[in-house]
Amino acid sequence: MASRLRFLGSGDSQGVPRWWCGCSVCQEARATGLNARTRPSVWVEGSEQVLIDVAPEFRLQATREGLRRFDAVLITHAHNDHILGLGDVADRARWTKEPCPAYAPREVLPQLQQRFAYLFQGTYLERIPFRALEDAGRTFAGYAVSAVKVPHGYNGWSYAFRFDGPHGSWAYMPDCIGLEDLEPWRGLDLLVLGTSFYKEPAPVASRSVYDVTEAVELVSRLKPARTVFTHLSHGIDRRKPAPEGAMYAHDGLVLELP
């Protein structure tokens, strides 16, 4: 079965429009919705249904896209914009009695337990068991998944995932800046990379995600066959074209996966 990647959310940690902001992008997002975007989650549709991260708006995202069931959840890191929908996932598993394991890199699990203590006990833990991705011993929608720790700038660290399948490879790297070790990211058919702003005036030391100009330079070194920028803030205006060779994600975007 051919696999697809569906962007449930393509925004940064605050979403667009920012509720308090009157910039031209936020105003356009309220008026026509072209730039409206929820926090970052994606859905791998294939031999299994796999979520990557679970945004605060997950319930609304799933309703919009008609997502009713899934087989596993992968978590990149324990920041709010990537995990606050876990309660919705757990509630579905509890009420339907259909278990849905959640996998995260081992060092992320204690942070998840600290944030969601109630999910690590009783019926909830039976329905949504949390497991170390390093010990998974399985594929996800037909892909072998490698979790690679990456620098998250001012916010410390995150993980990015590489997916290797029989027909190609792709990567999901929503939160990263200052990547030095490029070897795990060579030979990709698709790179999904986080870029919050087009050009950031602030120094790298005070930031946590690439801007578009920096991402273009990274992509020129990695040379993936396709590149999609996600984790977009109100610093990105989809009325303007993306750099040559790349595209901007949007909520509901569907891509064929290798």
Q: What is the average pLDDT score of the chain?
A: 97
Q: How many CA atoms lie within 13 A of 148 on its CB side?
A: 20
Assess whether pLDDT exceeds 80 at residue 205: yes
CATH of span 4-256: 3.60.15.10
User: Residue 120, Cα to own-chain centre: how many angstroms?
Assistant: 23
For position 2, what pLDDT does the model report?
83
pLDDT at 51: 98
Position 85 pLDDT exceeds 90: yes
Global pTM exceeds 0.95: yes
Q: Give me the mean pLDDT over the 113-139 stretch.
A: 97
pLDDT of residue 240: 97
- Mean pLDDT of all residues in 165-189: 98
pLDDT band at 258 (very low <50, low <70, confident <90, very high): very high
* pLDDT of 1: 67
At 233 the pLDDT is 98
Q: What ranges do the domains of the chain cover?
A: 4-256
Given a cut of 90, whether residue 49 has pLDDT beyond it is yes
Say what the pLDDT of residue 204 is.
85
